Homo-oligomer: A and B are copies of this chain.
Amino acid sequence: MDYRSTGVDLDSAERTKDALKALVDSTRDAHTLSHMGLFGGLYQVPADLREPVLVSSADGVGTKLKVAFMTGRHGTVGQDLVNHCVNDILVQGARPIFFLDYLATGKLDEDVVPRVVEGMALACKANGCALLGGETAQMPDFYQAGEYDLAGFIVGVVEKAALLDGTRIEAGDRLIALPSSGLHTNGYTLARAILFERLGLGVDDALPWDPGTTVADALLAVHRSYLQPLAPLLDDGHIRGLAHITGGGIPGNLPRILPQGLGAAVDRSSWTVPALFQGLQEAGEVHREEMYRVFNMGVGMVVAVAASEAERVLALLEEAGETPWMLGQVTSGSGVVFQG
């Protein structure tokens, strides 16, 4: 017997590693001390911080991956993953410095893996972080043919004094919303059930409520990064808190950044929920509260600012090319109360 006959091909793993080297190298920066192939990736802590705090997060892409499998489009899920991770540490005030991935599959596909990693490398470069390492695991009997799972780990850094930990948030602070770019990476199990099972659509079909968009394009829309528009505002100290709206939606994520004794009033009439969410809600006959708990409903990031700064921050975000809006405000109490 040998390893290969049981489904693990070390030669294929070596070839795949070689194919990834250039991609990984393209994300190196002045602090990256290692090349691919070492046991651990090396990154020198930037010397210009007085009290550097590392901020880290782990995440996956969830069943959005199933859409990649159905369509054979593997170039975006890596971007989803990196951007999701970037947003999760941005909300503590941190800039990403490096990222690592875990890609597990039954049988290594030497064509697919580099396309996934290419997406990660692209997003790493766009967010100024190094793709410092990763693990590609061959696990026969774990994953169905043509499938893989993908997880990401990010580390960022922030000056301790600039940490966003919610403590500066007060009742009366304004909440500004930044739009999501689609479902991001949450709610895909429900969305897929509605589109593929209940409506019986295929990935190449048009959305019934949006004939110009295919199911595939709608579901694979890349989870965007909020680093670029928010970084200058973080530097200026305008921002008192940030909430990334992921699994759990607005009611599950906004309270995570609020100090004890504070809640949020969110004005539902302040924005038009994008057609994709409305279409899913109607087609799936999903209760409105369930929709807001599962999906981001068009709100990708919530920015808390002092009331006196709100207009100025809105204007700065618009100048940065964003389409922000006044979503609501911080209140005494707890949890999220929807109005309108």
Contacts and interface: CB of A to CB of B under 8 A. Distances in A.
Interface stretch (A1-9, A174-182, A202-210, A222-230): A1-9
A2 B54 contact: no
A334 to B, nearest CB: 15
Interface residues of A, number: 82
A293 interface: yes
Contacts of A8: 189-190
A103 to B, nearest CB: 9
Contact of A139 (B62, B139, B187): B62
Interface in A148-199: 149, 151, 153, 155-157, 160, 163, 165, 187, 189-190, 193-194, 198
A292 to B, nearest CB: 12
Contact of A141 (B37, B66, B139, B198): B66
A208 to B, nearest CB: 16
Nearest to A92: B40
A259 interface: no
Contacts of A91: 39-40
Interface in A293-321: 293-294
A198 B57 CA distance: 42
A338 interface: no
Nearest to A54: B43
Nearest to A63: B139
A218 interface: no
A285 interface: yes
Given A53-B45, A284-B1, A38 B190 contact: no
Given A1-B284, A42-B163, A100 B56 contact: yes
Most B Cβ at <10 Å: residue of A58, A63, A101, A134? A58
Interface string A95-122: 0011011101000000000000000000
Contacts of A53: 33, 42-45
A300 B187 CA distance: 43
Contacts of A244: 39
Interface string A229-246: 000000000000000100
Contacts of A160: 44
Contacts of A29: none
A92 B42 CA distance: 9
A118 to B, nearest CB: 18
